[in-house]
Amino acid sequence: MTIRRMTLEDLDQSQQLASYAYGITSPEWAETDSKLFEITHNQTYCMEVEGTIAASVRNIPFEQNIHDNWKDMGGISMVASLPEHRRKGYVRDLMKRILNDAYEAGHATSTLYPFKSSFYTRMGYAKMLPSLSLNVNPAQFRIWRNPPGYSVVRGDYAEVGKDWQEVHARYVGSVHGGVRRSATRWREFELSLKSTLAIIYGPDGTPQGAIVYKTKGYGDFSGEENRGLMRIRELLYLNGEARSAMFSFIHLHQDQIVDVKMPVGPHIRDYSHWVTDANVLDMKAHILHMARIVNLEEAFRNYPVRGEGNLALKVSDPIIAKNDRTYRFEWEGGNIAVEETEKTPDGEISVEGLSALYYGLLSPKELIELDYLVGEECSPLEGLFTRSIPYLTEPF
């Protein structure tokens, strides 16, 4: 058994594995995947058993916005294994190798969308909030108007892709948990995007918003198969005027579209004001995401905190041995210093518990209730971390 990164020679086995594990069989997919594999194959780790790729895991390099600090992050994707090689620990071995390599590379965090949350909890990942979607009739956006000087332009990636990139970069820079795409990631979209792009421009001609969407069907005349549907993949706006122009654009589809399915970030609280005549909002929670600290000291570099104090904590990490030790946390003046210590710990915290604190999702009191934090001397942690809702903006 050998763990290694994939090479260009692994294309056929990679596609056979993905096709079997995910039920992807179309020739169109295979053609597009071949192009993507050329630029992304080295992001995928595989377990080779007697010449056969038995399992694989992709780790996509990103940067993540953690309270206005950009941190290197890996996005775990395309976890797959052949049935005859399952229940042998191959995926766990791959994950352990990936996370330890990421530690050495200075990655602060790792995120994923789990197929089974308990599997990844055992690897130190903490559960975050699920992504949401809102299903509405476009006629319910009738209160919105296109602000003076604003315009909406549809185009393909070659025409408006650069403006999409600009809007995306500014948007994720304003969102805790937001994910910044690399040049390679944008190249993936350029090669594979089948959706329509619409860019909202302000009075000065600069891009202020972007919608990535698909439409199908028409009206409500020919059954569910042909029912008019707009499915929005990405909804980005930089200000209220851009949002108004965006919703006005969606409203203009009311004679064509019956249902609009649109993403709603878990941090957004005013979505009930977006639509009219909606006594019961048709909301749906989708797959939650999970995240964990990878390189503990790098994660806390320039991390903003409140108050002042110090604490020694034994961090338990079942996957990354270099995190599994006692650290002294000392903070004052909005800054925190983290370093290994031989001091007797004041308490013990699991890496998933520390990750939940780091992202601002859970309080120390809640961690104690969940058995992620143990220790009677841990009260200094209260108020140290800012409570906030992270939004993993990237689907992968």
CA R_g for the chain:
23
Of 252, 285, 318, the residue that ends a domain is 285
Of 61, 83, 112, the residue that ends a domain is 112
On whether residue 194 sits in a domain, the answer given is yes
Q: What is the DSSP string of 3-72?
A: EEE--GGGHHHHHHHHHHHH----HHHHHHHHHHHHHHGGGEEEEEETTEEEEEEEEEEEEEEETTEEEE
Do 100 and 222 fall within a single domain? no
Do 19 and 106 fall within a single domain? yes
On whether residue 120 sits in a domain, the answer given is no
Do 169 and 259 fall within a single domain? yes
Of 285, 314, 329, the residue that ends a domain is 285
Do 146 and 249 fall within a single domain? yes
Return the percent helix, strand and coil in the chain, to nearest 5: 30, 35, 35
CA diameter of the chain:
72
Global pTM exceeds 0.75: yes
Do 189 and 236 fall within a single domain? yes
Do 377 and 233 fall within a single domain? no
On whether residue 209 sits in a domain, the answer given is yes
> What CATH number did the domain enclosing 103 receive?
3.40.630.30
Domain of residue 243, residue span: 132-285
Structural domains counted in the chain: 3
Do 148 and 276 fall within a single domain? yes
Do 255 and 151 fall within a single domain? yes
On whether residue 127 sits in a domain, the answer given is no
> What CATH number did the domain enclosing 335 receive?
3.30.1050.10
Do 274 and 155 fall within a single domain? yes
What is the residue-level pLDDT of the chain in tens, covering all 396 positions? 999 999 999 999 999 999 999 999 899 999 999 999 999 999 999 999 999 999 999 999 999 999 999 999 999 999 999 999 999 999 999 999 999 999 999 999 999 999 999 999 999 999 999 989 999 999 999 999 999 999 999 999 999 999 999 999 999 999 999 999 999 999 999 999 999 999 999 999 999 999 999 999 998 877 777 899 999 999 999 999 999 999 999 999 999 999 999 999 999 999 999 999 888 899 999 989 999 999 999 999 999 999 999 999 999 999 999 999 999 999 999 999 999 999 999 999 999 999 999 999 999 999 999 999 999 888 889 889 999 999 999 999
On whether residue 346 sits in a domain, the answer given is yes
On whether residue 124 sits in a domain, the answer given is no
